[in-house]
Amino acid sequence: WERRLEASGIPPRYRGASHPWAPRLAERIAAGDGLYLHGPNGTGKTTLACAAALICLRNGMGVRFAVATKLLDELREFGQDQRGLLESLAACDLLVVDDLGKEGAATPRAAEKLFDLFNDRYNSQTLAHPRPVLVTSNFPRGNVAARVSQGGAGVAIASRLKEMTEAVEMGGEDWRKSC
């Protein structure tokens, strides 16, 4: 379990995450549904995503977690290491991409590689082997294109996400401010 948890990339802070919606989201993910959780800072998007991912991991799914800004940093220079990273993220059972849209200044090359990732998952889906994604963002799906890149890659990513995910808005106050 510890090796699988470490390999998932779920941050240590969230390895004990729980959320009342997580079991239902995990069921939907296991059925092949992708989800796009969006809303203001501090509304529990990452906690919910990680709690659902942990359930999926316990149920035998291969899970990979990536923060969008760090992922794009890794994809800016594209070599053998990045190719292996993209292949592993494209092939896992569940891909969690946290904080999509905060990268704002993605280079065209990094945005293209991010598109390749979503496109590979999109094109490799079958009824027998879905490739769900669980995305968190402060921005609605319609804003993804402008947030990721000014070029066609952002538009294409937004288009894939619209078909691959159901949008779930998470509202409320920033719980961190009340701490």
Residue 98 phi/psi, 5° resolution?
A: -95, 140
Q: What is the DSSP string of 65-109?
A: EEEHHHHHHHHHS-SHHHHHHHHHHHHSSEEEEESTTTT-S--HH
For 3, half-sphere exposure in the C-beta direction (CA atoms, 13 angstrom radius) is 0
* Average pLDDT, rounded, for the chain: 88
Percent of the chain past pLDDT 90, that is, above it, reads 52
Q: Which of 72, 95, 106 lies closest to 161 in space, CA to CA?
A: 95
Q: 40-71, pLDDT tens digit by residue?
A: 998 999 999 999 999 999 999 999 999 988 88
Q: Which of 59, 46, 43 lies closest to 171 in space, CA to CA?
A: 43
Q: Which of 53, 55, 44, 70 lies closest to 138 in space, CA to CA?
A: 44
Secondary structure class of 116 (helix, strand, coil) = helix
Q: What is the mean pLDDT of residues 121-141?
A: 89
And the tokens for 137? 């963002």
Q: 64-106, pLDDT tens digit by residue?
A: 999 988 888 877 766 667 778 888 888 899 999 999 987 665 6
Contact in structure between 134 and 27 (CB atoms under 8 Å): no
Residue 87 phi/psi, 5° resolution?
A: -65, -45
Which run of H or E residues covers position 7?
helix 2-8
**Residue 8 clears pLDDT 80, i.e. is over it:** yes
Backbone Cα Rg of the chain: 15
